């Protein structure tokens, strides 16, 4: 296990380096520069600004400086937020994105699992059909549409929840639901199919024959075995939630890091885009690694290094 | 087994409680008033300020969003009086010498928000910060009319050669290279802001980066600043004219999404919206909807180095063949005005300082002059020796609205002139970059005035100018602009500028389409609230709340 973790960390570092480098070079390839706006700076001042930010140096040198700073944890200064570093912007925005993301994942996972269990236990009955409806709606309708509809009906028409911002528990409800609906839909269907698969296994028949109570069978055998594969898809869901947060944060005016992705591409804020991509990429790599380790710990049959117990 | 289920449910409950506890905290509710107090109507306003700004360092400011905050919390030698006019600010009076090259400002008794006095040395220190060659800023060139300023800023001169002189604690003098009739307007800009040297040195690089690192002298001061979310401004008791300020508190929310902003207005969480589209406007009462001229002109930007577009008759034909009113009414659905000249109406005055510049010559051509366009097109093709116009590329921003506008123009040119265009939708920064490099054929571009003088629009198109995207070059035009800038006599200066606009519209390197006006919403109980086409935009300094409880 230890050797496996070390290998995965090494692979993670290489992945991060590739992601950061690719993003950095792609940003350089886009025409224009960060100082371009309608009221443009006069050419002499533009040259001074470029020199100040090191943009007048050859690309290879700029890349070297960036990577050296990156390794030391310095993600540079934002061109569009001149008085703040990328580190500060991420540090300030991350708690909001993390809070919203955590709520959406926990809510989405919990409700999805419960819905899947109930649907499987009521196969071809009302709850099962309801779960199909939720799945279709959750997968077909993008998060931003759900967000806009909720905002209008619950915030404007009924006035039962605040329309935007992120100041209280009430403020978190609509964005959390909008962001987690897709996850609920997919986890519910996946859990349902896993449960139905497990329910049909011979050991379940044996358990029933042994006289175990229905609740014990459901909890100790059916849910516990069905839930394991669902955990493996948590990684992609975390990525999907993070991606979905970009739009949801903008719609609900949540000051997280998601909205910077959209804004900083429009303003060609190289360092902010690269910094946030590097940060998010690093986060995703380690989250996936943690999930793999978790899976190995939960299921004693599995040894991630391929050896058998 | 029941125990396990109970345990799971208990864990879920604990988790949800923990999550809600860890989440964002609700704002603290204010303490209740005592039974004997008669609370007057709260003078509190909540507005949309769109987004976090790039910087709030006064000398680094360049955008409308930044400059309006400056106007709320600071005061320069003069202050904006709206519509490009200024009134005395920290300087209670000022005068210029006979040829308009030396301006002297006399300061009133005014204080910083910590009670220390505002002195002339603060203005010089602020200006020298802007000119510091080690820290280049976007609008440093606003000071380049001052003797020695450009040389010092570009490292070719010294600080003591800059023509800013502190006569005494209450008097400061600026010596200019040439007469600038609107210098009193320029000094209202943040680039000329006073900065107390002791405070700036104390806070160092943290200057104006957080609420606690501001020292201000204006009507309001910053009480709190939650980055990317909101800023709260409260009345500054040390402001010299505090008696004229009625609002106690203004909360500026950073809402960028149009629909969210409107939803917050409809739910009562905002008292004002930055903008309104046609559908949003229809949903509100007449009393809530306001309109203002944002001062910008939007036009076809023709690359005059292109083998076909180098011909002025072709450019004029393309400009004349557009039905502006129909485009505005049916495509844009905005309160815009068809532009048949370049310099905007309303905001740019003529030589007397009062009559609009546009009054003497409202337009240079007729809107939707398809017949005239066809004649010019034929003439242009004959001059070029061609029998057909090749497909032309039309560059626009990649937003949905800009592309819709481009499609409308594409349709009109096809229908009216048989000219085909291919639309290139690119991000705004890319469009501007390509325009500057003359790497385009036709572009949809806009320009807003920096100061209330026709020169703000006209000097863009001198040969080799940094904003001369069409690469237009006419020595007669260049001479008119140069002479106008140096001319001390106002009437003669404006006459020269009039001739310059005549030539610009005769050659038409840029084809005007519309002058932009904007709708916005503000509650009827908010009085004295204004929007301005010149920076600052949002003006709430003298506003007050009346009738909200009704």
Which DSSP letter does residue A14 get? H
Are A103 and B23 inside 8 Å of each other by CB?
Answer: yes
Q: Which residue of A has its CA nearest to B428?
A: A266
Question: How far apart are alpha carbons B228 and B225 in whole angstroms?
Answer: 9
- Any long-range contacts for A200-204 (C-beta under 8 Å, 24+ apart)? A201/A225
List the pLDDT tens digit at each of the 550 positions of chain B: 344 444 445 455 555 444 444 444 433 333 333 333 334 789 999 999 988 888 999 999 988 889 999 999 999 999 998 877 899 999 999 999 988 899 999 999 999 999 999 999 999 999 999 999 888 777 888 899 999 999 999 889 999 999 999 999 999 999 999 988 889 999 999 999 999 999 999 999 999 999 999 999 999 999 999 999 999 999 999 999 999 999 999 999 999 889 999 999 999 999 999 999 989 999 998 889 999 998 899 999 999 999 999 999 999 999 999 999 999 999 999 999 999 999 998 889 999 988 999 999 999 999 999 999 999 999 999 999 999 999 999 999 988 899 999 999 999 999 999 999 999 999 887 888 888 889 999 999 999 887 888 999 999 999 988 789 999 999 999 999 999 988 888 899 999 999 999 999 999 999 999 999 999 999 999 999 999 887 678 999 999 999 987 5
Rounded Cα distance, B121 and B126, in Å: 9
| Cβ-count burial B262-271 (b if 16+ within 10 Å, e if not) | bbbbbbebbb
Q: Is the dihedral of CA A124, A129, A134, A135 positive or negative?
A: positive
The Cα of B439 is separated from the nearest Cα of chain A by a number of Å equal to 11
Contact A163 B260 (CB under 8 A): yes
Contacting residues of A for B2, CB less than 8 Å apart: 215
Residues 129-148 of B with CB under 8 A from A: 133, 135-138, 140-141
Is any Cβ of chain A less than 8 angstroms from the Cβ of B25?
yes
- Spatial separation of the C-alpha atoms in residues B119 and B109, rounded to whole Å: 9
Contact status of B269 with chain A (Cβ, < 8 Å):
yes
Helix axis angle, B258-266 to A234-251, nearest 10°: 60
Decide: B220 and B236 in contact? Cβ < 8 Å.
yes
User: What is the C-alpha separation between B325 and B323, in angstroms, rounded?
Assistant: 6
Q: What tokens were used for A256? A: 């997280």
Nearest to A172 among B23, B269, B445 (CB): B23
* ipTM (interface pTM): 0.83
Query: Which tokens sit at A180?
Result: 């987690």
Pairs of CB atoms within 8 A across A/B: 164
A232/chain B closest Cα distance in angstroms: 21
């Amino acid at each position: 296990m230890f050797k496996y973790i070390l290998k995965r960390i090494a692979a993670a570092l290489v992945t991060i380096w590739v992601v950061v480098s690719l993003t950095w070079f792609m940003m350089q390839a886009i025409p224009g520069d960060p100082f371009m706006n309608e009221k443009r700076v006069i050419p002499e001042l533009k040259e001074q600004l470029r020199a100040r930010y090191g943009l007048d140096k050859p690309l290879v040198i700029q890349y070297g400086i960036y990577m050296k700073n990156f390794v030391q944890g310095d993600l540079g200064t934002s061109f569009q937020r001149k008085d703040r570093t990328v580190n500060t912007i991420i540090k300030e925005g991350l708690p909001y994105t993390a809070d919203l993301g955590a709520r959406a994942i926990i809510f989405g996972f919990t409700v999805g699992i419960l819905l899947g269990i109930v649907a499987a236990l009521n196969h071809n009955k009302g709850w099962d059909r309801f779960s199909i409806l939720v799945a279709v709606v959750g997968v077909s309708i993008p998060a931003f549409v759900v967000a806009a509809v909720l905002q209008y009906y619950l915030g404007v028409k009924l006035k039962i929840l605040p329309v935007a911002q992120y100041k209280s528990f009430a403020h978190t409800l609509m964005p959390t639901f909008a962001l987690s609906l897709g996850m609920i839909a997919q986890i519910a269907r996946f859990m349902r199919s896993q449960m139905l698969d497990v329910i049909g296994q011979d050991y379940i028949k044996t358990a029933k024959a042994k006289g175990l109570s229905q609740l014990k069978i459901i909890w100790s055998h059916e849910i516990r075995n069905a839930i394991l594969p669902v955990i493996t898809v948590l990684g992609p869901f975390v990525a999907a939630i993070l991606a979905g947060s970009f739009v949801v944060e903008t719609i609900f005016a949540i000051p997280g890091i998601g909205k910077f992705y959209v804004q900083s591409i429009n303003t060609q804020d190289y360092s902010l885009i690269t910094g946030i991509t590097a940060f998010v990429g690093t986060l995703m790599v380690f989250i996936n690694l943690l999930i793999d380790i978790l899976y190995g710990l939960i299921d004693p049959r599995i040894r991630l290094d391929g050896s058998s117990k | 087994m029941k125990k396990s289920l109970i345990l799971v449910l208990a864990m879920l409950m604990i988790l949800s409680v923990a999550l809600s506890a860890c989440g964002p905290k609700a704002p603290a509710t204010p303490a209740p008033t005592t039974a004997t107090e008669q609370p007057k109507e709260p003078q509190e306003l909540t507005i949309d300020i769109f987004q976090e700004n790039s910087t709030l360092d006064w000398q680094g400011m360049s955008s409308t969003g930044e400059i309006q905050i400056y106007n709320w919390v600071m005061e320069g030698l003069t202050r904006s009086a709206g519509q490009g006019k200024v009134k005395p600010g920290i300087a209670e009076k000022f005068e210029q010498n006979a040829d308009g090259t030396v301006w002297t400002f006399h300061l009133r008794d005014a204080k910083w928000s910590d009670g220390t006095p505002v002195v002339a040395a603060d203005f010089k220190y602020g200006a020298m910060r802007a000119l510091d060659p080690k820290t280049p800023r976007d609008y440093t060139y606003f000071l380049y009319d001052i003797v020695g300023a450009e040389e010092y800023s570009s490292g070719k001169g010294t600080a003591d050669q800059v023509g800013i002189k502190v006569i005494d604690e209450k008097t400061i003098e600026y010596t200019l290279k040439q007469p600038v009739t609107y210098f009193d307007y320029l000094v209202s800009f943040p680039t000329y802001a006073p900065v107390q040297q002791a405070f700036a040195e104390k806070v160092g690089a943290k200057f104006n980066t957080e609420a606690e690192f501001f020292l201000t002298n204006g009507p309001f001061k910053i009480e709190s600043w939650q980055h990317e979310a909101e800023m709260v401004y409260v009345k500054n008791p040390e402001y010299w004219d505090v008696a004229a300020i009625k609002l106690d508190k203004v909360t500026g929310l950073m809402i960028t999404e149009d629909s969210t902003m409107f939803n917050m207005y409809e739910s009562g969480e905002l008292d004002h919206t930055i903008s309104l589209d046609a559908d949003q406007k229809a949903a509100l009462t007449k009393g809530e909807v306001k309109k203002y001229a944002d001062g910008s002109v939007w036009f076809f930007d023709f690359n005059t180095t292109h083998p076909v577009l180098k011909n002025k008759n072709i450019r004029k034909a393309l400009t004349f063949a557009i039905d502006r009113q129909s485009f505005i009414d049916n495509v844009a659905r905005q309160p815009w005005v068809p532009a048949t000249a370049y310099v905007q109406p309303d905001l740019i005055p003529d030589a007397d300082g009062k009559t609009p510049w546009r009054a003497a010559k409202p337009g240079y051509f007729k809107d939707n002059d398809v017949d005239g366009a066809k004649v010019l097109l034929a003439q242009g093709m004959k001059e070029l020796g061609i029998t057909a116009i090749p497909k032309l590329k039309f560059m626009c921003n990649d937003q949905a609205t800009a592309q819709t506008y481009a499609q409308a123009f594409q349709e009109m040119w096809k229908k009216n002139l048989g000219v085909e265009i291919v639309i290139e939708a690119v991000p705004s920064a890319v469009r501007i970059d390509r325009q500057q490099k003359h790497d385009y054929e036709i572009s949809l571009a806009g320009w807003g005035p920096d100061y209330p003088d026709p020169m703000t629009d006209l000097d863009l198109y001198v040969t080799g100018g940094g904003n001369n995207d069409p690469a237009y070059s006419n020595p007669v035009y260049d001479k008119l602009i140069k002479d106008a800038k140096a001319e001390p006599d106002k009437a003669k200066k404006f006459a020269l500028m009039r001739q310059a606009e005549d030539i610009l519209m005769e050659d038409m390197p840029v084809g005007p389409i519309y002058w932009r006006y904007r709708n916005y919403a503000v509650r009827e109980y908010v009085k004295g609230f204004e929007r301005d086409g010149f920076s600052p935009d949002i003006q709430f300094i003298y506003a007050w709340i009346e009738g909200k409880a009704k």
